[in-house]
Amino acid sequence: MVPVTSVELRRAGDRANTRTDWLTSAHSFSFGHAYDPDNTHFGLLLASNDDLVAPGSGFATHPHRDLEIVTWVLSGVVRHEDSSGASGLIYPGLAQRMSAGSGVLHSEFAEPGERVHLVQMWVSPDESGVVPSYQQVDVAERLDGGGLVPIASGLPGHAADTALLINQRDAGLSIGRLGAGGWVQLPAAPFVHLFVARGAVRVEGLASPAGSAGTELVRAGDAVRIIGCDGQRVTAVADAEVLVWEMHRDLMQ
């Protein structure tokens, strides 16, 4: 059974960080050196890294295994190459998915001339050891119509609509672009993770400090974790972009 609904705000400034001369990465969950045993995942989401990468720099070839990796670029252009032979340029409005499966090596570098801002998310697959695969789709036009648009999903209900298929039947990522005053309704699901990529929103059911009237403002870089989501409304205070993971079980289930 899903616990009684809880709505938890996680502020951008409270995230652990990795900083080098070419990278600033803010981690929503335990990642690398930044280990917190009480914050290893939420639902099936294992990582949500908010990265700033210097022009011409990036992540040299490194391995992954048994992960569904979804990358969403907010600005700049990323060049991807991997050991399956896949390669591509990832830019704003283009969604990318890599299924690491039985094992893959890949690299990601910012193209010269412009810093890259991206969000990379990792989800546990529902089957280990699958053949690695890669997919990228330009979804910019789909987002122009408003609402939450399935972008990367294995949920049966998203099968006909999602741009990218992931190997996890209990999870799906949707993205919404909202003008000021616009709103979307979150999916009803045991676990929903909302990340504000741009702008600012208010989330129904998220109380303001000390129980005062209204709801708390959720800004770029903030996240909201909802257990037992029953379709809360998210309203944009300023032009906003939200990334919403809908998950129907927890990693430990």
pLDDT in tens, 6-58: 999 999 999 999 999 999 999 999 998 889 999 999 999 999 999 999 999 99
Mean pLDDT of 106-126: 97
In Å, how far are 13, 21, 49, 50, 234 from 16, measured between CA atoms? Answer: 8, 17, 10, 11, 26
At 85, give phi and psi (nearest 5°): 100, -5
Quick check: 182 and 166 in contact, CB under 8 A?
no
CA dist., res. 130 & res. 250, Å (int): 21
Residue 142 in contact with residue 125, Cβ under 8 Å?
no
CA–CA separation, 92 and 74 (whole Å): 5
Phi, psi dihedrals of residue 52, rounded to the nearest 5°: -115, 120
Confidence at 213, pLDDT banded by 50, 70, 90:
very low
Backbone angles phi, psi at 235, to 5 degrees: -120, 130
Average pLDDT, the chain: 94
Mean per-residue pLDDT for 80-104?
96
pTM of this prediction exceeds 0.85: yes
Mean pLDDT, to the nearest integer, of 112-141? 96
Q: For residue 212, what pLDDT is reported?
A: 45
Is pLDDT above 60 for 2? no
Average pLDDT over residues 171-197: 97
